[in-house]
Amino acid sequence: MTSERDLIAAIARRAAPAGADAGPPGLLQGIGDDGAIWRPTPGTDSLVTTDTMVEGVHFDRRWHPPRLLGRKAVAVNISDIAAMGGTPRFALLSLGLAGDEEQPWRQALLDGLTGAVQEYGAALIGGDTVRTTGGVMLSVTIIGECRQSRACRRSGGRAGDSIWVGGPLGLAAAGLELCRRGLGKDAAWAEAVRAHLDPTAQVELGQRLADSDLVHAMMDLSDGLATDLAHICTASGVGAEVEASLLPIPPLVSRAAAECGADAMTWALTGGEDYHLLFTAAPEHDQAIARLAGEVPGAAPARVGRLTGQGGVVLRQPDGSSREIGYGGYEHFS
Amino acid sequence: MTSERDLIAAIARRAAPAGADAGPPGLLQGIGDDGAIWRPTPGTDSLVTTDTMVEGVHFDRRWHPPRLLGRKAVAVNISDIAAMGGTPRFALLSLGLAGDEEQPWRQALLDGLTGAVQEYGAALIGGDTVRTTGGVMLSVTIIGECRQSRACRRSGGRAGDSIWVGGPLGLAAAGLELCRRGLGKDAAWAEAVRAHLDPTAQVELGQRLADSDLVHAMMDLSDGLATDLAHICTASGVGAEVEASLLPIPPLVSRAAAECGADAMTWALTGGEDYHLLFTAAPEHDQAIARLAGEVPGAAPARVGRLTGQGGVVLRQPDGSSREIGYGGYEHFS
């Protein structure tokens, strides 16, 4: 392993320049000092989120290509900024290396990471590198902005709201299981495997929804619809009813579930890591939401149920039966 | 180990409330949503820094009490904000646990962490918890503020400047070595052991120096005077001459070095982790700096040399001999 100084230099070469004439607007000092300095855009609130990925817990180096791993570490954080309707501005990286990584592997990891930061319109402005005694660790912090008082939160949901997801459910869970089974390179599963290895944050969708003023509550789908909806219900003091028949489960997920002897519905509800937006809005705006969200590239909005006055998250089957699925309830009963 | 949700709840209970009537000024959303939201103070620039501590690399659980470990993870980051003359505002924590930590240990770690955040006038507003396959990992991000365009950087040093340190050198290195040798509980070494286990960030000193407009370059002493001064020299395009006779090495450090068969001068120059400020100012302001810095509780300013037009960091001995010490040069020759 090269020295920490060499590694920091390699990161700094990929990082944003700073100053009046170069680099992203507002950035006064990037990597190279005790901290980074920026001037917030007048009329905005600042947003920050941080998320850590640990080898052997959140990812597997055996099948996760380093470039895509770097991209994912960025995307899952940007997704949190997207879920508030914000614009990602700056990224910080804490990179933990075990010491057994080959130089090309590290290079590809940094390429993916800095490439994704740029793609989302942000700039890498700081971080540190450490040696770990376990495996690789990637801790990313994203700083974003939104118009004052316009950040979307989890707590604004109202009984009667329609519940929406920004795209199909279960693909990432299918992709993970396919990779586990050594089927990750099979072209037939490419879409699911990509959803697991290289998720996309719905930044434009989040911004459009926030600008529309129609959204009451919003978050991103990281833990699965059942748990994430429970978060919105708890924060908003409402319940939720999800219609099983409305869940956007792609045929590919059903085929993968059959291949793996798994249950597509379980993946869709509890698999997690879809990183689409989950949001609620008044039912009289169903058409407006469908139109607005449908125009955003990469978004495939689907209404999946409604918020209720009762507590808990309930899944209703086509036969009229229903059961509690929030906070692990789904696994418990299935 | 309790669940991640229980742990997050335990952290959230210690975190800042948010809203118009409660909590720190400007904080709109703390822990509990996809990200935190705050409104920057008008007329300020924003600062951010992040630093990660890994068990077995940066600390040893066998002798580092959890409460002090939590405090140190905060202090070393706040020290970077102090080094820019900033005010710490908000903290984020990524906490990695191996799973074998006892409940009281985790409790004490969080107590120390949140206690230190409060002591420095900041607020815990976010973070995440992960399981690790190695040991404990603490990644802290601090967001701060300073008056617009007034952040002190490493790059402002000028040839002829006096070089100052904010306190004694070598205590933390002595403390580490004493702990390694099992002497950490010996009252005779308490001051050194405390410097290692529970360092203090010189926030007030940094602010007073930044406000004074006298300081040209500033950073904090984390890697040791030799390396840190080399950073200032590189960033400022100058060299430095350090007078061995001026180094503030406390008698306790010399006694500990004798006890451990080590060299006090090496500890002072390369031991690192003193977390005092290192700064430069024009020599005509020597008296003003000494007075100003001397008034700050906990600060013990000492002038240790001067910046030069030559490259490199040189240590001058009382006998007139000198040698290069920057970037590991000291170890190389000693």
Q: What is the pLDDT of residues B147-187, one digit of tens each?
A: 999 999 999 999 999 999 999 999 999 999 999 999 999 99
Helical axes B103-119 vs B4-14, angle rounded to 10°: 30
pLDDT at A68: 98
Beta strand spans in A34-171 (E): 36-38, 44-54, 87-97, 123-131, 137-147, 162-165
Question: Which chain A positions have a beta carbon within 8 Å of B92's beta carbon?
Answer: 48, 50, 141
- Residue A245 · residue A194 · CB < 8 Å: no
pLDDT at A332: 42
pLDDT at B134: 84
Please check whether residue A80 touches B, CB under 8 A.
Answer: yes
> Quick one: which of B196, B329, B324, B217 has its CA closest to B278?
B217
Pairing label, strands B87-97, B123-131: parallel
- Residue A95 · residue A61 · CB < 8 Å: no
DSSP SS3 for B325: coil
- Residue B160 · residue B284 · CB < 8 Å: no
| Entry field: residues in chain A | 334
**DSSP secondary structure letters along B208-245:** HHHHHT-EEEEEE-SS-HHHHHHHHHHHHT-EEEEEGG
Q: E strand or H helix at B173, and its extent? A: helix B171-180
Question: Which chain A positions have a beta carbon within 8 Å of B133's beta carbon?
Answer: 54-57, 134-135
Cα–Cα distance for residue pair A312/A13, rounded to 1 Å:
50
Residues 6+ apart with CB under 8 A from B229: B163, B240, B242, B278, B313, B326
Q: How many CB atoms lie within 10 A of CB B151?
A: 27
Pairing label, strands B322-324, B277-281: unpaired
Question: Which chain B positions have a beta carbon within 8 Å of A51's beta carbon?
Answer: 94, 128
Cα–Cα distance for residue pair A30/A16, rounded to 1 Å:
6
- Residue A117 · residue A15 · CB < 8 Å: no
> Quick one: which of B151, B164, B168, B167 has its CA closest to B280?
B164
3-state DSSP of A128-167: EEEECCCCCEEEEEEEEEEECCCCCCHHHCCCCCEEEECC
What average pLDDT does range B54-65 have in this prediction?
94
Cα–Cα distance for residue pair B290/A321, rounded to 1 Å:
78
pLDDT for B334 beyond 50: no
Tell if the CB–CB gap between B220 and A34 is shorter than 8 Å: yes
Q: E strand or H helix at B68, and its extent? A: helix B66-82
Q: What is the rounded average pLDDT for all residues in chain B?
A: 93
Tell if the CB–CB gap between A94 and B220 is shorter than 8 Å: no
pLDDT at A326: 86
| 25-54 in chain A: CB under 8 A from chain B | 28-29, 32-40, 45-54
Tell if the CB–CB gap between A153 and B29 is shorter than 8 Å: yes
Q: Chain A interface, mutation test: which of B34, B80, B128, B150, most A Cβ atoms within 10 Å?
A: B34
* pLDDT digit string (tens) for chain A, length 334 residues: 456 667 777 777 777 776 656 678 899 999 989 999 999 999 999 999 999 999 999 999 999 999 999 999 999 999 999 999 999 999 999 999 988 899 999 999 999 999 999 999 999 999 888 898 888 999 999 999 999 999 999 999 999 999 999 999 999 999 999 999 999 999 999 999 999 999 999 999 999 999 999 999 999 999 999 999 999 999 999 999 999 999 999 999 999 999 999 999 999 999 999 999 999 999 999 999 999 999 999 999 999 999 999 889 999 999 999 999 988 666 544 3
Cα–Cα distance for residue pair B51/B138, rounded to 1 Å:
8
Q: Which of A28, A38, A133 sits opposite B54 (nearest CB)?
A: A133
- CA distances (Å), origin A66, targets A197, B137, B333: 10, 22, 40
pLDDT at A178: 98
Q: Chain B interface, mutation test: which of A34, A45, A51, A154, most B Cβ atoms within 10 Å?
A: A34
pLDDT at A333: 41
pLDDT band of residue B330 (cuts 50, 70, 90) is low
Please check whether residue A83 touches B, CB under 8 A.
Answer: yes
Residue A123's identity, in one-letter code, is A
DSSP SS3 for A55: strand
pLDDT for B69 beyond 50: yes
- Residue B138 · residue A130 · CB < 8 Å: no
Cα–Cα distance for residue pair A39/A299, rounded to 1 Å:
32
3-state helix, strand, coil in chain B (%, to 5): 40, 25, 35
pLDDT band of residue B329 (cuts 50, 70, 90) is low
Question: Which chain B positions have a beta carbon within 8 Å of A87's beta carbon?
Answer: none
- Residue A148 · residue A42 · CB < 8 Å: no
pLDDT at B8: 72
DSSP SS3 for B140: strand
CATH class of B154-333: alpha beta
Pairing label, strands B137-147, B87-97: antiparallel
Cα–Cα distance for residue pair B38/B302, rounded to 1 Å:
38
pLDDT at B119: 96
Contacts 24+ apart (CB under 8 A), A254-261: A256/A174, A256/A175, A256/A177, A256/A178, A256/A189, A256/A192, A257/A170, A257/A174, A259/A178, A259/A183, A260/A174, A260/A177, A260/A178, A260/A181
Q: How far is CA A211 from the centre of its chain?
A: 20
Residue A254's identity, in one-letter code, is S
Can you give the residue ranges of every domain in chain A?
Answer: 4-147, 154-333
CA distance A221 to chain B (A): 10
CA distance B42 to chain A (A): 8
CA distance A32 to chain B (A): 8
What digits encode the pLDDT tens for the residues B291-300?
Answer: 999 999 999 9
Q: Which of B34, B45, B52 sits opposite A219 (nearest CB)?
A: B34
ipTM above 0.85, yes or no: yes
pTM score of the predicted model: 0.94
What is chain B's alpha carbon radius of gyration, rounded to the nearest angstrom?
A: 20
- Residue B120 · residue B201 · CB < 8 Å: yes
Least confident of B23-27, B152-156, B201-205: B23-27
Residues 6+ apart with CB under 8 A from A291: none
Q: Which of B35, B50, B53 sits opposite A49 (nearest CB)?
A: B35
pLDDT at B326: 86
| 225-244 in chain A: CB under 8 A from chain B | 235
| 142-201 in chain A: CB under 8 A from chain B | 142-144, 146, 148-149, 151, 153-155
pLDDT at B252: 98
Question: Which chain A positions have a beta carbon within 8 Å of B94's beta carbon?
Answer: 50-52, 94, 139
Please check whether residue B223 touches A, CB under 8 A.
Answer: no
CATH class of A4-147: alpha beta
- Residue A36 · residue B48 · CB < 8 Å: yes
Q: How many CB atoms lie within 10 A of CB B153?
A: 24
CA distance A30 to chain B (A): 10
Q: How far is CA A133 from the centre of its chain?
A: 28
